[in-house]
Amino acid sequence: MNELGRKAAELKQRGDQLGEKALRHPWMVRLARLGYLAKGVVYAVVGVLALQVAFGQGGEMTDTRGALASLAGETWGAVLLTVLAVGLTGYVLWRGVQAWMDPDGKGTSAKGLVIRAGYLVSAGIHASLAVAALRLALGAGGVGKHGDQSAQSWTARLLSEPFGQALVAVVGLVIAGIGAWQIHKAWTEKFRDKLRLQELDARHAAWAMHVCKGGIIARGAVFVMMGGFFLLAALHSNPREARGLDGALAALAEQPFGTLLLALAAAGLVAYAVYMAVVSRYRRFLGA
């Protein structure tokens, strides 16, 4: 083995040891599980609000930040938002551990490094959600721009830069690629390897798999749509064509049989929330 390969192997072994040490800490796994559950709660709110729109019971199209804002006015909203802020912080820490210490063994291949970089991006996104939840809990202000407003603002900023259309197109391809990867993960049931579903009886495990697959596919399909809107914005150099999660759901409602499509997507997001709850309870850590 050459010197470079030897050093890479040493770094990986050191990362494995650090990752195991982190997960041996009594609070790390608990924070990770709470983080998955908090993420699920946010998606459940998004899905339920969209279901209400689909069935004409009020509600609104919103994204994850808007979901937090909708909780602020509820009874015990401040308490729930505080718990969500703590949970999302736990999720951020866990994503950091996954990216830096690689406890899941993604390795240092090109594919492994891309996945681990994705964990860092996820950590950043959920860190901003945690801050927004805490600000709302403390009554320190709203969540700022979110959904379509945020997507269009960022798109306009990128389009104003040199090679702006190309940058927006790359963003669209990345978002659509994430969605396609989620659909692939669900279809091939790769996510099952990380779950201890043998603790459930066969019937409940089968139902859990169906719900989890449906949820992951639904979220992936919405991401593919969002990526497509960014690509349209790049093609036409028009930031108004970019859409966030709320805009993607609204676009479904505008199609023929829109009410049905919106209801299916919203139910899928609720199913994704169930998947997060299943992960929170049954995820394997260190292969256990």
Q: What angle do helix axes 245-253 and 148-159 make, rounded to 10 degrees?
A: 110
The pLDDT confidence band at residue 27, using thresholds 50, 70 and 90, is confident
- Give the model's pLDDT for residue 139: 82
Give the CA distances from residue 57 to residues 47, 51, 54, 72, 253, in Å, rounded to whole numbers and listed in that order: 13, 8, 8, 20, 15
Listed by start position, the domains of the chain span: 3-282
Token duo for residue 216: 């992951």
35-52, pLDDT tens digit by residue? 999 999 999 999 999 999
pTM for the model stands at: 0.87
Interatomic CA distance for residues 94 and 129, integer angstroms: 15
For residues 20 and 196, the model is more confident at 196
Spatial neighbors of 97 by CB under 8 A, at least 6 apart, are 19, 22, 23, 28, 32, 103
DSSP state letter for 283: B
**Helix or strand run (H / E) with residue 3:** helix 3-24
The pLDDT confidence band at residue 20, using thresholds 50, 70 and 90, is low
- Give the model's pLDDT for residue 127: 94
- Give the model's pLDDT for residue 15: 53
Interatomic CA distance for residues 193 and 172, integer angstroms: 30
Query: Is the dihedral angle over the CA atoms 257, 261, 262, 264 positive or is it negative?
Result: positive
Continuous H helices in 25-109: 28-54, 64-72, 77-101
- Give the model's pLDDT for residue 3: 64
Interatomic CA distance for residues 6 and 116, integer angstroms: 21
Distance of CA 256 to the CA centre of its chain: 28
95-115, pLDDT tens digit by residue? 998 888 887 778 888 888 888
pLDDT at 189 over 80: yes
52-73, pLDDT tens digit by residue? 999 988 878 888 888 888 888 7
